[in-house]
Amino acid sequence: MAAFLNRRDPENIEDSAERLKDRAGGWLDVMTAAADLHPITRACMSFNLWSLAGLGQHGDHMEAAVTASRIAASDDTGAIFAPIAMGGARGLRGSGLPPERLARWLEGMESATLTAMRTLDDIEAWTGRAEKVMARLSGRTPSALRNTFSQWPLVSAPTAETMTGASRAAVQRNLAWMEARGLIREVTGQGRYRMWRIII
């Protein structure tokens, strides 16, 4: 685990991997003892215990979040998809008593799920509008590009080339056409490394 996470204890370099192993083992022991809890409760618990166990360094919560998501989806009774960060930072705040943390976690999941559902509805509506506006275009590039934008929040020209299999010229031409018709907009404001997103 020390090598995988690339985590070390700077105060004692020689013994750092073993000490991390001990901390990870302590975290795992607590999580094993909570095996009878619902996966979503265990996910909250794992996220909050991660830094308390000394596994997160420099306030980095990425590993904790990934681990929590895997625990939440660990069986058929959990959450396959719970974009808790979309609900704001409240659900991820690590303060208060355990019942308060769990309540915030559940509220964050609910808020994030509603936000994700609204986003998916907006993308579906955009896709319908884009199909109508782009109906007169021929070839496979327009529909492939429309599908790319419905699947990715930001799209660069190289990404569009890869996803559509079209040439750079065809992609650039279609991006300009879509932008002129108000389907997409460029968001970086740069001449190079430009990114586009749909206009909902």
Beta strands at 184-186 and 195-198: parallel, antiparallel or unpaired: antiparallel
Which bin fits 47, alpha (ψ -120 to 50), beta or left (φ > 0)? alpha
Is the whole model's pTM more than 0.75, yes or no?
A: no
List, in order of start, the domains of the chain with CATH numbers. Answer: 2-116 (no CATH), 134-198 (1.10.10.10)
Cα 59-8-2 angle, rounded to 5 deg? 100
Burial class of residue 167, CB neighbours in 10 A (0-12, 13-18, 19+): exposed
**Contact of 185 with 179, CB cutoff 8 Å:** yes
Task: Return the structure tokens found at 140.
Answer: 């496979």
Query: Quick one: pLDDT at residue 172?
Result: 94
**pLDDT tens-digit readout, 3-57:** 666 655 555 555 555 577 788 888 999 999 999 999 989 999 998 888 888 787 6
Task: List, for residues 127-147, the tens digit of each pLDDT value.
Answer: 999 999 999 999 999 999 999
Provide the pLDDT for residue 70: 84
